[in-house]
């Protein structure tokens, strides 16, 4: 995720400026704001990981290379990545915060990657956020006026008292055309700023009027807690507008990225590894107040890929850490359709997806009002896997008392089973599906296998090839490969020329092969100057997820030498790396020579014998080079 965001944002913030932020940032100072660090020897620091519970410190920081890595949970990166994970910021927000801390003026480029230029309207975001903050104060004050009685009744009827309204910043847009606009203009905000912010809009006569009028308002905040927009609920029957009206798209409000309640829920989401996705503002309030603090909601749009990206960062949704995503939908047809649409996005999550549907088809706000806080907590606790719900929904559409109905249900349900991320669960769901359909397991198994291979249900499938055996990561050879990679990442100036001279074919472990390829793709170790910029270049060039994680790990793992590495240590390590393959080739040649008749195949015999002598000479040189090594 991180590498994708870096690649995406590199076209907006100038690459040189990102590199400068990394170089000018003291990672120890940034992390010390959150984690107590102590010396770990060798210039490194250690502390308790802020991203998972642990009793002994496994969180390591390398100030010399401006990188960090946790050996407990596998998280790692530079100062930018730390802020992204710890403060739940986007890549751009993290870079901008560190740039401000270091006194660096960032330069931006056009999305079409044209020549760099200063970012237009510097300070625009700050002005728009300030305008929204002033609007929040204005609307909140209006909620206590006589004209807002209908808004107060709406909240009270749904179980929200004054304290709840204040906690979520609820407000009221008065029955006036331009009261907010005049108020904000008096505070120094310009005509263009109010229109750009979506707080005001031009009227037919050309004058500026308020966007919201006679409505109950919820301020919508981003991850950092800044108000970036509003959601407005209709209260009066003579209001001919939509039931809910939201802030339009603005430079700071992108509805496909926004989740209501995320500012209050983010830390609990990260702590619990769980998020509850509900459908409305009052549902978020009801869940939080009922003891489900991980609830969030979309704002005027369907749950989509951008929302998933936000939640994955909060959940630290990786192969190593799989969280829970729980959707709550009404039990009606629209709710079922939304649930099936969510299942289509299931593959975008690594974690497990669930659905929680109230038996009475009530949303969390209605459930809390009717049956209390415990009922809301029970609703979430009784969640079921989303795949179970989706399968049941598909099967129920067919008449299982007929052969045609059972076969058609199998054909429609098989692709859902084939989409299950956890392959070890698929056989169990095959058996469950066969039982639900009242069919033998074999045809269902064939249908699922066909769907998994992209074939129509019932098509022939070839037997799966066995997975290749991966060399042991702690074998002597793998340990030498690991040491060579550490030298290239941590000491590229010292080790670069010798490291690059050794062919990539010398590496055997698949993840090591991926990291070695990434080093070459990043320009080679000899051309690198080291530090966090070099580490991130290698990480970005690595297509393998396990390789990306290993880059962060190797960047802080101590070298297997007392003291500082020198050219001799690099030479010894690279000789040890090559020794295994050279001796292996010598063994193969000797075996081949023994099988050849030196009389009838004299030319081939002497050619192989000459190659053997050359390899043995090379082996002796490597043995001498590696003497007194690791």
pLDDT digits (tens, 9 = 90+) for 357-372: 887 888 999 999 999 9
Q: Which of 559-563, 605-609, 620-624 has the lowest mean pLDDT?
A: 620-624
% of the chain at pLDDT higher than 70: 82
pLDDT of residue 9: 41
Question: Are 194 and 248 spatial neighbours (Cβ–Cβ below 8 Å)?
Answer: no
pLDDT of residue 464: 38
Mean pLDDT, rounded, for 177-188:
96
pLDDT of residue 505: 86
Q: What is the pTM of this model?
A: 0.60
Which residues share a beta bridge with 473? none
pLDDT tens across 68-120, in order? 998 888 888 899 999 888 877 778 888 988 988 888 888 877 544 444 444 43
Mean pLDDT, rounded, for 167-179:
96
- Residue 398's H or E segment, with its range, is none
Q: Check whether 350 has a pLDDT greater than 80.
A: no
Distance CA 94, CA 85 (A): 10
Signed CA dihedral, 122, 128, 131, 133: sign only: negative
DSSP 421: S
Q: Check whether 425 has a pLDDT greater than 70.
A: yes
pLDDT of residue 382: 92
Q: Check whether 269 has a pLDDT greater than 90.
A: no
pLDDT of residue 253: 93
Ramachandran area for residue 294 (φ above 0: left; ψ -120 to 50: alpha; else beta): alpha
Q: Check whether 166 has a pLDDT greater than 50.
A: yes
How much is the CA Rg of the chain, to the nearest whole Å? 31
CA atoms within 13 A on the CB side of 117: 9
Give the neighbor-by-neighbor strand order of the sheet with 324-328.
259-260, 295-298, 274-278, 324-328, 352-356, 384-385
Instruction: Compute the mean pLDDT over every residue in the chain, rounded to the nearest whole number.
Output: 83
pLDDT of residue 208: 94
Mean pLDDT, rounded, for 232-249:
94
Q: Which pLDDT band, with edges at 50, 70 and 90, does 568 fall under?
A: confident
- Tokens for 579? 């020794």
288 closest CA partner among 392, 181, 163, 444: 163
pLDDT of residue 209: 96
Distance CA 260, CA 274 (A): 16
pLDDT of residue 381: 94
Mean pLDDT, rounded, for 153-170:
96
Cβ contacts of residue 190 below 8 Å, gap of 6+? none
Mean pLDDT, rounded, for 391-409:
88
Mean pLDDT, rounded, for 211-237:
94
Q: Which of 11-25, 245-259, 604-618 has the highest mean pLDDT?
A: 245-259
Q: Which of 134-148, 183-197, 322-336 has the lowest mean pLDDT?
A: 322-336
Q: Which of 63-77, 199-213, 317-331 has the lowest mean pLDDT?
A: 317-331
pLDDT of residue 470: 41
pLDDT of residue 476: 78
Q: Which of 201-210, 469-478, 547-556, 602-611 has the lowest mean pLDDT?
A: 469-478
pLDDT of residue 477: 79
Q: Which of 150-164, 244-258, 506-520, 537-551 has the lowest mean pLDDT?
A: 537-551
Mean pLDDT, rounded, for 549-577:
86
Geometric angle at alpha carbon 344, from 419 and 349, rounded to 5°? 75
**Phi, psi angle pair for 216, to nearest 5°:** -80, 135
Which residues share a beta bridge with 216? 172, 233
Residues in the chain, overall count = 630
pLDDT of residue 624: 63
Question: How many whole angstroms from its chain centre is CA 298?
Answer: 18
Q: Alpha-carbon dihedral of residues 610, 614, 615, 617, nearest 10 degrees?
A: 140
Which is more confident, 225 or 343?
225
């Amino acid at each position: 995720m991180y590498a994708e965001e870096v690649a995406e944002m590199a076209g907006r913030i100038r690459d040189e400026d990102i590199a400068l932020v990394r170089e000018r940032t003291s990672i120890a100072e940034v992390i010390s704001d959150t984690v107590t660090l102590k010396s770990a020897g060798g210039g490194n620091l250690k502390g308790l990981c802020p991203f998972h519970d642990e009793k002994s410190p496994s969180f390591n920081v390398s100030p010399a290379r401006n990188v960090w890595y946790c050996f407990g949970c596998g998280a790692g990166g530079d100062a930018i990545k730390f802020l992204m994970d710890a403060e739940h910021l986007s890549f751009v927000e993290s870079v901008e915060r560190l740039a401000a801390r270091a006194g660096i003026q960032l330069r931006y480029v056009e999305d079409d990657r044209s020549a760099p230029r200063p970012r237009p309207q510097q300070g625009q975001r700050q002005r728009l956020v300030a305008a929204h903050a002033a609007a929040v104060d204005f609307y909140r004050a209006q909620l206590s006026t006589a004209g807002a009685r209908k808004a107060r009744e709406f909240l009270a009827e749904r179980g929200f008292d004054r304290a709840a309204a204040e906690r979520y910043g609820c407000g009221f847009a008065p029955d006036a055309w331009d009261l907010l606009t005049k108020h904000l203009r008096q505070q120094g905000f310009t005509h263009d700023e109010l229109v750009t912010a979506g707080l005001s809009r031009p009227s037919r006569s050309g004058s500026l009027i308020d966007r919201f009028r006679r409505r109950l308002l919820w301020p919508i905040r981003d991850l950092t807690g800044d108000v970036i927009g509003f959601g407005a609920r209709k209260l009066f029957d003579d209001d001919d507008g939509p039931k809910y009206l939201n802030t339009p798209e603005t430079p700071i409000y992108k509805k496909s990225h926004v989740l209501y309640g995320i500012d209050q829920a983010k830390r609990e989401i990260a702590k619990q590894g769980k998020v509850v996705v509900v459908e409305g503002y009052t549902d978020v309030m009801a869940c939080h107040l009922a003891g489900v603090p991980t609830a969030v909601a979309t704002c005027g749009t369907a749950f989509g890929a951008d929302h998933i990206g936000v939640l994955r960062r909060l959940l630290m949704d990786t192969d190593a850490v799989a969280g829970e995503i729980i959707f709550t939908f009404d039990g009606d047809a629209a709710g079922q359709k939304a649930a099936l649409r969510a299942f289509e996005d299931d593959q975008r999550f690594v974690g497990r997806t669930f659905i929680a549907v109230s038996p009475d088809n009530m949303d969390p706000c209605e459930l809390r009002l009717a049956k209390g806080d415990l009922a809301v907590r029970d609703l979430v606790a009784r969640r079921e896997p989303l795949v179970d719900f989706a399968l049941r929904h598909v099967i129920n559409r067919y008449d299982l008392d007929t052969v045609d109905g059972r076969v058609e249900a199998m054909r429609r349900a098989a692709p859902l089973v084939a989409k299950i991320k956890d392959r070890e669960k698929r056989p169990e769901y095959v058996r469950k599906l066969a039982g639900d359909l009242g069919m033998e397991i074999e045809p269902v198994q064939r249908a699922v296998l066909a769907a998994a291979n992209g074939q129509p249900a019932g098509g022939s499938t070839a037997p799966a090839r066995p997975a290749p055996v991966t060399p042991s990561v702690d074998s002597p050879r793998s340990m030498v490969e690991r040491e060579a990679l550490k030298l290239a990442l941590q000491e590229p100036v010292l080790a670069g020329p010798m490291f690059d001279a050794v062919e990539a074919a010398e590496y055997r472990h698949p993840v090591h092969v991926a990291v070695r390829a990434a080093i070459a793709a990043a320009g080679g170790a000899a051309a690198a100057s080291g530090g966090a910029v070099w580490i991130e270049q290698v990480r970005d060039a690595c297509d393998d997820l396990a390789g990306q994680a290993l880059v962060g790990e190797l960047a802080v793992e101590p070298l297997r030498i007392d003291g500082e590495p020198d050219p001799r240590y690099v030479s010894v390590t690279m000789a040890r790396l090559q020794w295994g393959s050279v001796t292996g080739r010598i063994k193969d040649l000797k075996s081949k020579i023994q099988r050849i008749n030196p009389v009838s195949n004299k030319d081939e015999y002497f050619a192989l014998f000459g190659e053997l002598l050359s390899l043995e000479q090379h082996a002796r040189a490597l043995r001498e080079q590696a003497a007194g090594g690791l």
